[in-house]
A and B are shown apart, each in its own frame.
Chain A
Amino acid sequence: MTIADLSSMLFDRVRDLSALCTRVGELSDEGIPFVLLAGGTDWMVEQEMREPLASDVFPTVIDVSQMGELRGIRLDGDILRIGAATRYLEMRRHPAVLERAPLLERMARDVGAIQIQARGTLGGNIATGSPAADGVAALAAFDALVVVKSRRGERHIPLSELQTGYKTSTRAPDEIIVAIEIYLPSRNATWFWRKVGTRKAQAISKVALAAIAEVQGGQVVRCGLGMASVAPVTALLPRTRELFLSTRLDAIDDFMIDKCVESDIQPITDVRSTGPYRLHVAKAVVREFARSLGAA
């Protein structure tokens, strides 16, 4: 237990996003480790569990939990923009999320208990980079864009291009996650969320599937899939997605789904589950999603 380290860490706050970009840039230039702290639902646990640090590698902690430019939810036409430090509980209460992106509300309900929802954020979920992240799986289903900002300017990273491996990404260390932008599916799109864990509340996923689909005349015309805890990154299931987009629903059967899922993921056995069980559940939840669309 190393929470004793905490009291020796520097705690910093900056006035706005522009000042944050400058500060983070300077710390990067100087090679000083830093942490942007929002809800702390992952980071504080890591502090509790890790080995003690040498004092020269204590990170500077910059509190971003109250920074206005990183917070809030805005609906602009069919684009939903969620500030990176917006809490899950705020998402669950927001009319635009409830009306246009109910998948996010459903995911947020399962991400952890109410105490976790009151602190956790999508920005934190992305930054932590765990392949078990429920929030990232949901964002993958929407083909979300991650808005990042640094001294060099702002850019949008498609979620499919963000993760490169276990907890590694194409985001530069000085690029701050500012917001998530979602091009919303049509109002009659089907959405699906299934989280399988040890228990209903507070569990880290053994497998979770987030999915959306727009169907026109028996054919899927937009499809997004995000699966947690079955690969080193959030699994996008590209072959399964291609199956949905290329085949009429009445011609899709369980055998075809199973083959695609098997070629998309090779889940491992770890502390939470086994590889074979995860593959079994992954196929089952994709089949359930397909049935919800009207597949054979």
Chain B
Amino acid sequence: MLIRFRLNGETREIDVAPMRRLLDVLRLDLRLTGTKEGCGEGECGSCTVLLDGDAVNACMVVIGQCDGREITSVEGLGSEKHLAPIQRAFVTDGGAQCGICTPGVLVAAESLLRRNAAPSDEQIREALAGNLCRCTGYERIVESVRVAAVERATLARSKTSNGSPASQRGTKSGAPQ
């Protein structure tokens, strides 16, 4: 079945069995291996992607249901040269350790920050409750999301005042004093 969707901002058209999982199509057919498989049953969140802007588990979505939809995987958040604020914050503030949960956490956090520019710690924890991490104890993850929220706000302000994006470098230095 021919399935057409937007993936990380680009239109894609693929001919695949419509009942295959979105997770497998991303990893095996489209070679986007940033999205990880953990439990395969919607429990751990490591396969989290955005479907029309909402965080979903790619292990529970069949590709046929993605026809005409908009998908963002971790590869769509930033690029190797220009990491997104949420990615930079995880690097600088220790949000990632072994890394298996990290892509899913990043995507879930991005989904939160797009709807809520200044989330409380409780809101961050609620938004990430579907993402299991066995390394960090979560404290550094919450801290990283907090830092990313501040940087996003700074970037948004400088875009408004300068009419152009702010520097892509630095995280904490961008925090308002």
A9 CA / B48 CA spacing, docked (Å): 24
**Interface size class, chain B:** 20 to 34
CB distance from A27 to the nearest CB of B (A): 16
Flag if A11 contacts B64 (CB, 8 Å).
yes
Which parts of A18-71 form the interface with B (CB within 8 Å)?
A: 37, 39-41, 44-45, 48-49, 61, 63, 65-66
Q: Of A109, A116, A200, which is in contact with the most chain B CB atoms at under 10 Å from its CB?
A: A116
A40 CA / B129 CA spacing, docked (Å): 19
In this complex, how many residues of chain A approach chain B with their Cβ under 8 Å: the count is 33
- Known A-B contacts A48-B40, A115-B130, A118-B51; the reply to A6 vs B56 at CB < 8 A is no
CB distance from A225 to the nearest CB of B (A): 27
B42, CB-defined interface residue at 8 Å: yes
- What are 19 pairs between A and B in contact, CB < 8 Å? A6-B17, A6-B21, A7-B19, A10-B19, A11-B17, A11-B62, A40-B65, A44-B42, A113-B131, A114-B55, A114-B111, A115-B42, A115-B55, A115-B57, A116-B57, A118-B55, A118-B56, A119-B61, A202-B129
A8 CA / B42 CA spacing, docked (Å): 22
Flag if A11 contacts B19 (CB, 8 Å).
yes
Known pairs A45-B41, A65-B65; list 16 more (Cβ under 8 Å). A1-B40, A6-B19, A6-B20, A11-B62, A40-B60, A44-B42, A44-B60, A45-B42, A45-B60, A109-B126, A112-B42, A113-B45, A114-B55, A115-B45, A115-B55, A119-B56
A89, CB-defined interface residue at 8 Å: yes
Would you list the 9 A-B pairs with minimal beta carbon distance, nearest first?
A113-B130, A201-B129, A11-B18, A118-B54, A7-B17, A44-B60, A11-B64, A6-B19, A115-B130
B: residues with CB less than 8 A from A are 1, 17-21, 40-43, 45, 48, 51, 54-57, 59-62, 64-65, 68, 108, 111, 126-127, 129-131
A3, CB-defined interface residue at 8 Å: yes
Which residue of B is nearest A65, CB measured?
B65
A: residues with CB less than 8 A from B are 1, 3, 6-11, 13, 37, 39-41, 44-45, 48-49, 61, 63, 65-66, 89, 109, 112-116, 118-119, 200-202
Chain A contacts of B41 at CB under 8 A?
Answer: 44-45, 48-49
- Known A-B contacts A9-B19, A112-B130; the reply to A119 vs B60 at CB < 8 A is yes
Flag if A63 contacts B65 (CB, 8 Å).
yes
Q: Of B20, B41, B48, which is in contact with the most chain A CB atoms at under 10 Å from its CB?
A: B41
Q: Of B40, B41, B60, B68, which is in contact with the most chain A CB atoms at under 10 Å from its CB?
A: B60
Chain A contacts of B55 at CB under 8 A?
Answer: 114-115, 118
- Known A-B contacts A49-B41, A119-B56; the reply to A113 vs B129 at CB < 8 A is yes
CB distance from A60 to the nearest CB of B (A): 10
Chain A contacts of B43 at CB under 8 A?
Answer: 202
Set A11, A112, A202: member contacting B1, Cβ < 8 A: A11
Flag if A37 contacts B62 (CB, 8 Å).
yes
